[in-house]
Amino acid sequence: MSEVIKIRRGLDIKLKGRADKIFTKAPRSRTYAVKPVDFHALTPKIVAKPCEEVKAGSVIFYDKYRPEIKYTSPVSGIVKTIERGERRRIVSVVIEADGKDTAETFRKGDPAAMSREEVVENLLESGLWPVIMQRPYGVVAFPSDVPKAIFISGFDTAPLAPDYDFIMKDMEKEFQAGIDVLRSLTDGKVHLGLDARYPAAKAYTGAKNVERHYFSGPHPAGNVGIQIHKISPINKGEKVWTVKPQDVVTIGRLFMTGKYDPSMIVSLCGSEVKKPLYYKLIRGAEVSSITQDNIVTDNVRIISGNVLTGKTISEDGHIGFSDAQVTVIPEGDYYEMFGWILPGLKKFSVSRTFLSWLTPGKEYRLDTNLHGGERAFVMTGEYEKVLPMDIYPVALLKAIIVEDIDKMEQLGIYEVLEEDLALCEFVCTSKTPVQSILRGGLKMLRKELE
Amino acid sequence: MNALRRYIDKIKPNVEKGGKFHFLKSTFEGFETFLFVPNTVTTTGSHIRDAFDMKRAMIMVVIAMVPALLFGMWNTGYQHFLALGQEVGLWENFWFGFLRVLPIIVVSYVTGLGIEFVFAQIRGHEINEGFLVSGMLIPLVMPVDVPLWMVAVATAFAVIIGKEVFGGTGMNILNPALTARAFLFFAYPTKMSGDRIWIAGLDKGMETVDGYSGSTALAQAAQNNDVLVNGIGDPLTTWDKFMGMIPGSIGETSTLAILIGAFILILTGVGSWKIIVSVFAGGAVMGLIMNAFGGNALMEMPFWEHLILGGFAFGAVFMATDPVSGAQTEKGKWIYGFLIGVLAILIRVFNPGYPEGVMLAILLMNVFAPLIDHYIMEGNIRRRLKRAKVQA
């Protein structure tokens, strides 16, 4: 094993409801959705009209400003509805599955035998290109770019995160095929971050043409952003790409079979889930296919993703594009008398102002209460304790708030995305909306520079 | 509890927009959130949040000040009866001090919170909890005989000029409580220094035992007295100095009580241990340097005595650690604290007018804290530029 990179700063939030390591086949979902809102800076242009028949891999919409990037249907069926939100913005396109599983055919074969253009073409046509994220900005990669390197984090340390060593079992061939595809897209290396604390899955340890890096420490050690920062930080003008492990597998499958087969494994977890398990399902499935009759209480929040960065979805909503986790936690819309002075044995805090710090191993049932009101920045040193990067987060956020683009660049905005600063938001005494401020800054920067 | 909640919900519409008492919204919210942690849920970003909020942070600091406050009350009585030549019990001392100190606290809170409420209302903000701490700090750094109107004027000055003109809690450059203290010191010097102001009643021509002097230990040292004594001429033991049975501002005398507060601040993580430790380290280093030269009583005073006399410990634990006016980077905190310690002793020894330097040292470093942070962050920026290939 190569050198282990030790992450010291960070925080593991111990929540109740970790998924048991059992695979279950989820009942077939009735409908599936492709959601433009899962991607930043995407303006969709609809191709498939309602009631039109589609196959798995048929184009549903493309990006208005980058028409070569297409988004395709995960299943065969008919387009049922196009849901719109505020200002008629398209929120999701819902497809009713017909159960026939017909699929478009794409090119298959060894990526080494294809030119880079052909590989890119195949990914774009099949609708798999959007699994490739670009940093900085956290947007879908530009097909014309050649990235400095491609990074894959092979594990996840977020609260109740799925265990990728378990998910990636028996995925050796597909994973390797996916790696080979990615390999042909960059002149640099393909980096794979692994958890040093547990023996990694065979798909990881056996993979060729990747550079493995081992990390140990609390969350956010598993965030690809932290790993990039430790391996080779992003400088001004540089671009790197990131892909999630299950998406690597899907890419591999495309080149092995010539079909867009977005089946994936999603863990259902959280304190309000009766039986937290791992489910095999297809990307964009209805969340109710796994949560039906499986939730303890009524007043809950269903999150596609983890509790720090995920998106709230409704009971009849659909799981997000690349989310390998659905978390269900109680809503916190209650008043608490004198809550600011009570000893707080059931409350979780990084500060030791609640007696719960005396029971370090305890698992918590945390809810969505904000626990106070929003204030100006007062406390210092809080963010730094949970951000293992050579970055001054408060100074960066202040630069964003005053819209000082130069300062943002100087303070390292290119190196971070919302998920990396999510813990800062969690611990903030002033309840500062860190993630949305950062996204605002990234948007501003992109507008200014591109 | 439920009945109270129902009542609040019933009267709440009156302060909402369009309601009769909308101009009281911030005030109402201030009291409501004091009674109940609100039912707000997260809408963007992280779905769960740390249970720690500003109210709890500020209350923790107030709790940390309670030992110093209680001791200060007792000491007020003790010094008073010592001057009278009477010996009374623990509770009598405390009760006397309690009655003297309480009005100062009330005036400070009423003035400060009143102004805060008005500003919050004008800005349409929620009430900020910052003054909960300032409102307690101000009485603790006052001499006990300070006229109440002065407390009110100083508090108003500190809150308006020291804080609100900059944008309120979180935006201020100077520590508000020290601003109040400095304001009085420069505006009414005769009421804020000398030998007669530290003992309750002395300034008003109280009958004392023969040969009584109410001068502080530091004032005696500044007059080059080698042996520091208490009011009736008995030499002070190290224990007396450490415990705080000496004249001084209400909360500053007892190093022991202040250290208990420091323990609470550091344990809960609310106060920065780096600043506290580095202020003491800076003071000790400067004290040692002074010892090496010698020359007068203040310079020859053992370095550790500097740390337990006057306002040094109080300033280090409760004033320098103010996160808003202090350095905000972790490295900067070491430099900031160390320089406060150094400057405090330097001013103390060489300032001919007033034998205390902590207040001025902290205010001075408050002004320089952003500069320290700037240089620390420049280092970070330079590291980033160095590895970049494209030049900015």
Average pLDDT over residues A342-348: 85
Nearest-by-Cβ selection for A372 from B47, B53, B385: B53
Chain B residues touching residue A301 (CB < 8 angstroms): 47
What's the gap in Å between the CA of B94 and the closest CA on chain A? 27
Inter-helix orientation angle B90-123/B148-160, to 10°: 40
Average pLDDT value over all residues in chain B: 90
Q: In this complex, do B38 and A235 lie within 8 Å of one another by their Cβ atoms?
A: no
Give A356's DSSP letter.
Answer: G
- Judged by CB atoms closer than 8 Å, whether chains meet at B53 and A379 is answered as no
* CB spacing of B1 vs A337 below 8 angstroms: yes
3-state SS, one letter per residue, for chain B: CHHHHHHHHHHHHHHCCCCCCHHHHHHHHHHHHHHEECCCECCCCCCCCCCCCHHHHHHHHHHHHHHHHHHHHHHHHHHHHHHHCCCCCHHHHHHHHHHHHHHHHHHHHHHHHHHHHHHHHHHCCCCCCHHHHHHHHHHHCCCCCCCHHHHHHHHHHHHHCCCHHHCCCCCCCCCHHHHHHHHHHHHCHHHHCCCCCCCCCHHHCCCCCCCCCCCCHHHHHHCCCCCCECCCCCECCHHHHHHCCCCCCCCCCCHHHHHHHHHHHHHHCCCCHHHHHHHHHHHHHHHHHHHHHCCCHHHHCCHHHHHHCCCHHHHHHHHCCCCCCCCCCHHHHHHHHHHHHHHHHHHHHHCCCCCCCHHHHHHHHHHHHHHHHHHHHHHHHHHHHHHCCCCC
Task: Report the gap between the CA of A155 and the closest CA in chain B (Å).
Answer: 20
Q: Which residues of A touch B9 (CB under 8 A)?
A: none
Query: Which residue is closest to A405 within chain B, CA to CA?
Result: B392
Closest alpha carbon to A130 in A63, A85, A188, A183: A63
Query: Is the CB of residue B66 less than 8 Å away from at least one CB of chain A?
Result: no
- Find the helix or strand (DSSP H, E) in which A278 lies: strand A278-282
B42 close to A (CB below 8 A): yes
Number of Cβ within 10 Å of residue A223's Cβ equals 29
Tell whether B40 lies on the interface with A, counting CB pairs under 8 A.
yes
User: Do A361 and A14 form a contact (C-beta atoms < 8 A)?
Assistant: yes
- The tally of CA atoms less than 13 A away on the side-chain side of residue A30 is 5
User: Which residue of A12, A16, A375 is the best one to mutate when testing the B interface, meaning the one whose CB has the most B CBs within 10 A?
Assistant: A375
Q: Which two tokens stand for residue B26?
A: 């911030």
Q: What gap in Å lies between CA B112 and CA B155, rounded to an integer? A: 6
B2 reaches A (C-beta below 8 A): no
- Check whether A371 has a pLDDT greater than 60: yes
Contact with chain B for residue A401, Cβ under 8 A: no
Q: Model confidence over A265-280: pLDDT tens digits?
A: 999 999 999 999 999 9
Q: Which residue from B33, B50, B389 is facing A349, i.e. has the nearest CB?
A: B50
Nearest partner of A278 among A178, A166, A381, judged by Cα: A166
Question: Min CA distance, B72 vs chain A (Å)?
Answer: 25
- Residue A362, chain B, CB below 8 Å: the answer is no
Computed on alpha carbons and rounded to an integer, the radius of gyration of chain A in Å comes to: 22
Q: What is the pLDDT of residue A317?
A: 94
C-alpha B234 chain-centroid distance: 30
- pLDDT at position A352 is 87
| Cβ–Cβ below 8 Å for B126 and A235 | no
Sequence letter at residue B177? A
CA A36 to chain centre: 15
Domain-embedded: residue B336: yes
Beta-carbon contacts of B350 under 8 Å, excluding residues fewer than 6 positions away, are none
Share of chain A above pLDDT 70, in %: 100
* Sequence ranges of the domains in chain A: 4-257, 370-449
> Which pLDDT band holds residue A339 (cuts at 50, 70, 90)?
confident
Any B CB within 8 A of A387 CB:
no
Among B53, B324, B333, B377, most A C-beta atoms within 10 A, so best to mutate, is B53
B330 vs A235, A377, A381: nearest CB = A381
- Look at B268 and A339 and tell me if their CB atoms are within 8 Å: no
Instruction: Report, as an integer, the average pLDDT of A213-237.
Output: 95
- pLDDT tens digit sequence for A29-41: 999 999 999 999 9
Beta-carbon contacts below 8 Å between A and B: 214
Percent of chain A residues past pLDDT 90, beyond the cut: 85
Opening angle at CA A277, ends A275 and A195, nearest 5:
135
pLDDT of residue B204: 72
Task: Answer whether A12 touches B (CB < 8 Å).
Answer: no
Residue B171 lies in a domain: no
State the residue range of the domain holding B7: 2-35
Structure tokens at A21: 């390591």
Element holding A399 (H helix, E strand): helix A393-401
Q: Is B296 on the interface with A (CB under 8 A)?
A: no
Average pLDDT in the B368-373 region?
Answer: 96
Inter-chain CB proximity A371 and B128 less than 8 Å: no
Interface of A with B in 39-98 (CB under 8 A): none
Question: What distance in Å separates residue B337's CA from the closest CA in chain A?
Answer: 15
Q: What is the pLDDT of residue B392?
A: 46
Dist. CA A277–CA A273, nearest whole Å: 9
Closest CB from B48, B267, B389 relative to A235: B389
Listed ranges A290-304, B9-23, B214-228; the one with the highest mean pLDDT: A290-304
CA–CA gap between residue A427 and residue A347 (Å, rounded): 13
Q: A319, A259, A267, A284: which is closest to A74 by C-alpha? A: A284
Q: Is the peptide bond before A50 cis (omega within 30 degrees of 0)?
A: no
Res. B30 pLDDT band, cuts 50 70 90: confident
* Cross-chain residue pair B170–A338, CB shorter than 8 Å: no
For A11-68, what is each residue's pLDDT tens digit? 999 999 999 999 998 889 999 999 999 999 999 999 999 999 999 999 999 999 999 9
pLDDT for residue B1: 62
The β-bridge relationship of strands A325-330 and A300-304 is: antiparallel
Chain A (278-337) residues lying within 8 Å, Cβ to Cβ, of chain B: 301, 303, 307-310, 312, 327, 329, 331-337
Judged against a pLDDT cut of 70, whether residue B390 lies above it is answered with no
- The answer to whether residue B180 sits within a structural domain is no
| Close Cβ partners of A130 (under 8 Å, ≥ 6 residues apart) | A39, A69, A71, A140, A321
Cα B244–B250–B256 angle (5° rounding)?
30
Mean pLDDT rounded to a whole number for chain A: 93
Number of domains in chain B: 2
The runs of H, that is alpha helices, within A168-223 are 172-183, 202-205
Residue of B nearest to A331 (CA): B41
Instruction: Tell if the CB–CB gap between A391 and B35 is shorter than 8 Å.
Output: no
Q: Chain B: give the shortest CA distance to residue A75, in Å.
A: 31
Q: Which residues of B touch A426 (CB under 8 A)?
A: 46, 48-50
Residue of B47, B53, B389 with shortest CB distance to A237: B389
Residue B17 burial class via C-beta count within 10 angstroms: exposed 0-12, middle 13-18, buried 19 and up: exposed
The CA-atom distances, in angstroms, between A447 and each of A16, A234, A408 are 41, 19, 14
d(CA A232, CA B321): 36
Q: How far apart are the first and last CA of chain B?
A: 59
Nearest CB to A333: which of B41, B47, B392?
Answer: B41
The length of chain A in residues reads 450
Q: Is A237 touching B (CB cutoff 8 A)? A: yes
> Above 80 in pLDDT, residue A2?
no
pLDDT band at B351 (very low <50, low <70, confident <90, very high): confident
CB atoms A337 and B330 under 8 Å: no
CB within 8 Å: A329 and B170: no
Q: Across the interface, do A377 and B170 touch by the CB < 8 Å criterion?
A: yes
Q: What is the pLDDT of residue B85?
A: 87
CB atoms B392 and A410 under 8 Å: yes
Nearest to A378 among B1, B323, B329 (CB): B323
In whole angstroms, give the CA distance from residue B310 to residue B249. 8
Helices B176-187 and B148-160, interaxial angle, to 10°? 130
Contact A427 B126 (CB under 8 A): no
Contact (Cβ atoms closer than 8 angstroms) between residue A372 and residue B54 = yes
Please count the other Cβ atoms lying within 10 Å of the Cβ belonging to residue B222: 21
Give the chain A residue nearest B330 (alpha carbons). A381
Question: Residue A336 and residue B52: Cβ atoms within 8 Å?
Answer: no
Structure confidence at residue B220 as a pLDDT band (50, 70, 90):
confident
Closest-CA distance of chain A to residue B259, Å: 18
**B331 found inside a domain:** yes
Residue B389's pLDDT band (cuts 50, 70, 90): confident
